[in-house]
Structure 1
Amino acid sequence: MLSLLAASACVLVGCIFVPSAEVFRLSDQYLPLWNETPGQFSDYSVENGKYIIDPWVYPKRMGMYKVLLNKTASYFEKFAPDNEQNFLWGLPLQHGWQYKTDMNYFLCALPFLAAVDSGIMGISSDQVLLLPPSKDQTKFCLNVSSCQSSFPSTMRKWNALYQHLQSPSSSFEDLLKYLWEAHVSSLKDGYKIFEDRLEYYSKPEAGFGRDWCVVLDYLAAASFPTIFSTVSEFQQALPPRVLVDGDKAPFISNFTDLQNILLLGLNLLHKVDSATGSLSLTIWKILMKTQAAKMLLLEIFEAILAIFNPTSLG
């Protein structure tokens, strides 16, 4: 079982850890319309002393991430210049990947509003209001207080991250743990509310959504560094479109070998997790207890990337 778990994990993220300053500069390739998005609160409209943001318009939501990255940049200077080690890059990169399948509201509103509440954004908690969607309005929180009321545990986890981020003694590795706790909690909040929506997707796409929720627990245990370079490399292996009936990895003709293998690996890991009653996750967490083990895993992943995608190392 251990060998199967290790194989699944290696197939899953064998493509993700290749830091690259060149990739970091290619923001437009991975973040559609990045240069057209707001970058500060003053770029949004103001009504009754509140910044009004419409998160249902792609550039406006992407702007929330840009503001968050700009406001937190100074706290990451001790790790690397130019905001390169800001692990919040993973949030807008995922949103860019989901340009046409926008389902990440809770991975935007909760981290953004928790940052406002923590004081790290430089405004008070009651100065931001998100506009509701046209339907299902009661399922979404729209300001700090309503998100705290609806998702208290997740908001506390994001707030804990920002509080530790402001501490000079916090290490990058410790901060990653707080990030992943908050990230997984946000995703599971959204999944609980919209799990029934999966029946409206094709069987392959619904299966991919379920696989994705499972795999995040393993990425969290490994403290996968969600900085720009690693996530942008990882996304080269993600499906470039919504899966449709008839798509079956590893035989999807218009997907790359890497994308096919990743889909197969995601599903395999989900099956292992289900078959073992999540015992595989418990074992994985034990294996990932030390920083040395995590670094060894990343080295293995880099070697696997060289096999599947050698041009990315050039």
Structure 2
Amino acid sequence: MMALLSSWACILIVCFSLSLGEAANLSDLYPPLWEESPGQFSEYRVENGKYIINPWIYPERMGMYKILLTQTARYFEKFGPENENNILWGLPLQHGWQYKSGRLADPSQRTDCGYESGDRLCISVDSWWADMNYFLCAVPFLAAVDSGIMGISSDQVTLLPPPKDEMKFCVNVSACQSSISTAMRKWNIFYKHLQSPFSSFEDLLKYLWDAHTQSLHDVSERFDHRLEYYSKPEADFERTWFVDVKYIGALRLPTTLIRIHELQKGLPPRMLVKGDRIPFISDFSQRQNIFLFVLNLVGDVNNWTGSLSLTIWNYFMKTQNAREKTLEFIETILEKFNSTSPK
């Protein structure tokens, strides 16, 4: 059991400890339509003294991330230049991949929401990815407003609800504090430590991942029924992704700009469809096939052990030294893997 756990755990970290590389221009790594998205509150509509944001339009939701990254940049200056080491980059980059890969479109195909032939910038409320992502956008954004980081008061911004299932989504600070209170509290704890001059990078990663995983945990059951819209390979991938995030969170993967940009090169560039057999999907790169294979392996081991593997993983990842040594070990393996890979 321990040998198996050790093997797949190492493979998991290989996938999530990709080489950082060097970017000639950090702006080349930004998510799709980053430059076109709002970068300040004044770019949104104002009604009765409130900023009105429609998170069901891709640029408007991405703009929420852009403002968040801008307003928190000063707290990450001590960790590196150009805001590259802002660990909130993982959120907009993930959303950008969802958009680019077609995962924000209407999976039921009853509308043209999100499709190239229809309303490409529309985010469908029937999309499992879009719904889960909502709580990794609205909650950290509104918690930042509540913490005072955003420079406006808690009652100065509201989000528009989706065209259906409105009660499943909170649209302002007070509503989120009522309906998803634990996650909001953990995001507030993260921002409290972010504003402290004594918090280390490792401290911030801990509180970020605590808030991130809690946000998904609190709402996952609300959207299980969305999975019926997808092919079996895609639905299985969604379930596996939800499980794997728990392992990544325990590792406290640094969600910086360059690292996450490199990581996402292994993610599937399109929706999985009937007939896709991992790791033999012909129009996916070797890296993407291997990445999906490992994600499935982690999910399978988690299911086989009844989450015992996650308990063991959490135990071994408790200390900073263990996490650092594990990353160092895997990065050594990765370097050898890269040096032997065909060009």
> TM over 0.5: same fold?
yes
Question: 5 Å matches for 1:94-105?
Answer: 94-99=94-99, 100-102=102-104, 103=130, 104-105=133-134
Shift of 1:26: 4.5
Corresponding residue of 1:237: 266
Corresponding residue of 2:297: 268
Shift of 1:169: 0.6
Corresponding residue of 1:227: 256
Shift of 1:145: 0.6
Shift of 1:282: 1.4
TM-score (norm. length: structure 1): 0.94
Instruction: Give per-residue Cα distances to partners, 1:132-189, cap 9 Å, x unaligned.
Output: 1112111111110111111000100001100111111111111111100110111223
Note closer, same or farther for the CA distance 1:311–1:76 as it changes in structure 2 (3 Å cut). farther
User: In 2, are the aligned partners of 1:15 and 1:304 still within 8 Å (CA)?
Assistant: no
What are the ranges of 5 or more consecutive residues in structure 2 without an aligned counterpart?
A: 105-129
Note closer, same or farther for the CA distance 1:14–1:31 as it changes in structure 2 (3 Å cut). same
Corresponding residue of 2:110: none
RCO greater where, 1 or 2, for CA within 8 Å and sep 6 or more?
Answer: 1
Q: For 1:305 and 1:128, how far apart are their aligned partners in 2?
A: 45
SS across alignment from 1:34: coil
Question: 5 Å matches for 1:78-93?
Answer: 78-93=78-93
Note closer, same or farther for the CA distance 1:153–1:183 as it changes in structure 2 (3 Å cut). same
* Pairs aligned (count): 312
SS across alignment from 1:141: coil
RMSD: 1.9
1:10 equivalent to 2:10? Answer: yes
User: In 1, are the aligned partners of 2:205 and 2:254 still within 8 Å (CA)?
Assistant: yes
User: In 1, are the aligned partners of 2:13 and 2:327 still within 8 Å (CA)?
Assistant: no
Q: Return the match for 1:173 from 198, 202, 221.
A: 202
User: In 2, are the aligned partners of 1:249 and 1:260 still within 8 Å (CA)?
Assistant: yes
Q: For 2:330 and 2:182, how far apart are their aligned partners in 1?
A: 33
Instruction: Give per-residue Cα distances to partners, 1:5-51, cap 9 Å, x unaligned.
Output: 2322333341433234417x354455111110111111111111111
Corresponding residue of 1:296: 325
User: In 2, are the aligned partners of 1:41 and 1:51 still within 8 Å (CA)?
Assistant: yes
SS across alignment from 2:16: coil
Q: For 1:176 and 1:54, how far apart are their aligned partners in 2?
A: 29
Instruction: Give per-residue Cα distances to partners, 1:83-120, cap 9 Å, x unaligned.
Output: 11100000000000000213111110000001000111
Q: For 2:329 and 2:176, how far apart are their aligned partners in 1?
A: 40
User: In 2, are the aligned partners of 1:16 and 1:233 still within 8 Å (CA)?
Assistant: no
Q: For 1:309 and 1:242, how far apart are their aligned partners in 2?
A: 27
Q: For 1:70 and 1:79, how far apart are their aligned partners in 2?
A: 15
1:209 equivalent to 2:238? Answer: yes
Q: Return the match for 1:193 from 208, 218, 222.
A: 222
SS across alignment from 2:318: coil
Q: For 2:321 and 2:78, how far apart are their aligned partners in 1?
A: 22
SS across alignment from 2:158: strand
Instruction: Give per-residue Cα distances to partners, 1:257-287, cap 9 Å, x unaligned.
Output: 1111111111111111122121111111121
Corresponding residue of 1:19: 20
TM-score (norm. length: structure 2): 0.86
SS across alignment from 2:78: coil
Note closer, same or farther for the CA distance 1:21–1:41 as it changes in structure 2 (3 Å cut). farther
Shift of 1:238: 0.8
User: In 2, are the aligned partners of 1:79 and 1:172 still within 8 Å (CA)?
Assistant: yes
User: In 1, are the aligned partners of 2:50 and 2:155 still within 8 Å (CA)?
Assistant: yes
Q: Which amino acid aligns with 1:250?
A: P
Q: Which amino acid aligns with 1:41?
A: F
What are the ranges of 5 or more consecutive residues in structure 1 without an aligned counterpart?
A: none
Q: Which amino acid aligns with 1:128?
A: V
